Homo-oligomer: A and B are copies of this chain.
């Protein structure tokens, strides 16, 4: 079966997952993202007319102001027309099927869909359905994938560490429920990171996670030893209410990133987090706001990376 993300010429047709995404295409996106940033200390993003006259639809079946906003800003910086659809309150609630809704938006001459859905596979379903001139970006589907987050993380790592082939990277926290972790692991291994670690209690790890090519740790002191990059995951509050975790305090004690635990990593290790942070749960404020943190740079780079993905897709027409 052909990779559903690529067209017949091997170019990016949709961005659905970092799984199976060729390293060449990832690097092209990171390179293009760099062109949207100037070289200054506080990098600025210029407004460009690359998507002038194109219609980008944010179709969010799951609420996410933060992610929706980053895509909206990226699209507007590219001069696209952006239409926000909160689908919960729309036709699907009138009995229309998901694909009828998509067909209708296509008939309105959508050029690109940004899709967020609580069901894994929703973006793939839409991508398989639409005509070839329409592009789909997965902005998070269930526990499956969040590829633009992973790509902006890769951009951030390359920005601070220059190369991937000599890095030791640790992903810390609720890997089990995290689409971000899955997308990060695929991107890191594809880009040649030789050692990817996951650090989590057993209850927050998928079974057979080693099959993804990662090393498993249950202890921060060992897992963080000599790493170059620490990717913190957000701990959903609702996990506390189930049987998976005893309490936020207990979690913080063992897995919360403090200055003490950070000291196990290399002195120049960078600390990343996809946001929004739970200070005092998965990360201590001293680290979140400390010299190793590049968390706000991730946000800035996220705009540039999303601009790069969008212009790569729309430039392929």
Contact at A95–B46, with CB atoms within 8 Å?
Answer: no
> A8 within 8 Å of B by Cβ?
no
Residues facing B in A69-115 (CB within 8 A) are 69-70, 72-73, 76-77, 81, 83, 85-87, 89-91, 94-97, 100-101, 103-109
Cα distance A106–B69 in the bound complex, in angstroms: 12
A296 interface neighbour in B73, B101, B107, B302, Cβ under 8 Å: B107
Contact of A275 among B77, B104, B297 (CB under 8 A): B104
Residues A83 and B69 in contact in the complex (CB < 8 Å), given A53-B46, A104-B299, A279-B97: yes
- How many residues from A make CB contacts under 8 Å with B? 53
Are the CB atoms of A90 and B66 closer together than 8 Å?
yes
Do residues B85 and A297 form an inter-chain contact, with CB atoms below 8 A?
no
Chain B contacts for A52, CB-based, 8 A: 47
Say yes or no for A55: interface residue by CB 8 A criterion: yes
- Partner pick for A303 among B76, B108, B296, CB 8 A cutoff: B108
Interfacial chain B residues near A106, Cβ < 8 Å:
296
Say whether A44 faces chain B, with CB atoms less than 8 Å apart. yes
Q: Tell whether, in the assembled complex, residue B100 and residue A277 are in contact, meaning their CB atoms are under 8 Å apart.
A: yes
Q: Give the interface centre of A86, A94, A297 by most chain B CB atoms within 10 Å.
A: A94
In the complex, the answer to whether A300 meets B69 with C-beta atoms within 8 Å is no
Q: How far is the CA of A101 from the CA of B66 in the complex (A)?
A: 9
Q: Does A207 contact B (CB under 8 A)?
A: no
Complex partner residue of A276 from B96, B237, B277, B296, CB under 8 angstroms = B96
Q: Which residues of B contact A35 (CB under 8 A)?
A: none
Within 8 A of B (CB), among A273-317: 275-279, 296-300, 302-303
A241 CB within 8 Å of chain B: no
A108 and B276 contact, Cβ closer than 8 Å, known pairs A47-B53, A65-B85, A90-B65: no
26 sample A-B contacts, Cβ–Cβ < 8 Å, listed by A number: A42-B131, A42-B133, A45-B109, A46-B53, A47-B52, A47-B81, A65-B85, A65-B89, A65-B91, A69-B83, A69-B85, A69-B108, A73-B81, A76-B81, A77-B81, A91-B276, A96-B275, A96-B276, A96-B277, A100-B275, A104-B276, A104-B296, A106-B296, A107-B297, A108-B300, A109-B300
Q: List A residues at the B interface (Cβ < 8 Å).
A: 42, 44-47, 52-53, 55, 63, 65-66, 69-70, 72-73, 76-77, 81, 83, 85-87, 89-91, 94-97, 100-101, 103-109, 131, 133, 237, 275-279, 296-300, 302-303
